[in-house]
Amino acid sequence: MKIKLTSLFVDDQRAALAFYTDVLGFTKHHDIPLGDDSWLTVTSPEWPEGPELLLEPAKHPAVKPYRDALAEEGIPLAQFTVDDVEAEYARLTNLGVVFTQQPTDIGTAVVAIFDDTCGNLIQIIAMKPDANPDH
């Protein structure tokens, strides 16, 4: 079993596509019109055959209270792996991305959390090589 697709609710698909491609550096994979919305996915250019992230419209009434509750607690909706959190923090900050948590050493990893401008908090993480049981 493999994870091929996961979704993230976004307030505006076009604005989300711009942020996730122009700012974060993902690549548009699918953009298939479905009525007023699209089947809109992005992938990592570092892993184009890897999982797709579906930028899903946040129209369902359960989405807003769910995301508001998580944001109030500072809980990210997704986590992306990076090689160097400090370097990514600097790059994204220079592009105007607002972080709600600066790079923080949590022992086994370094993490930071930013606002994706689309209604979500996103965490970036870099595992420390000696803390990763897969290596």
For residues 78 and 115, give the distance between their C-alpha atoms in angstroms, rounded to a whole number.
11
Closest CA to 44 of 67, 22, 20, 27: 27
CATH number for the domain harbouring residue 32 = 3.10.180.10
Query: What rounded mean pLDDT belongs to the chain?
Result: 95
Label residue 134 by pLDDT band (50, 70, 90).
low
Confidence of residue 52 (pLDDT cuts 50, 70, 90): very high
**CB 39, CB 32: distance < 8 Å:** yes
- pLDDT tens, residue by residue, 13-47: 999 999 999 999 999 999 999 999 999 999 999 99
Mean pLDDT computed over 7-17: 97
Determine the pLDDT at residue 22: 98
Indicate whether 49 pLDDT > 90.
yes
Please, which residues have CB within 8 angstroms of residue 54's CB and are 6 or more apart in sequence? 5, 6, 7, 8, 39, 40, 41
| Structural domains in the chain (count) | 1
Q: What does the pLDDT read at residue 57?
A: 97
Domain with 48 in it = 5-131
User: E strands, 50-117, where?
Assistant: 52-57, 78-81, 99-105, 109-115
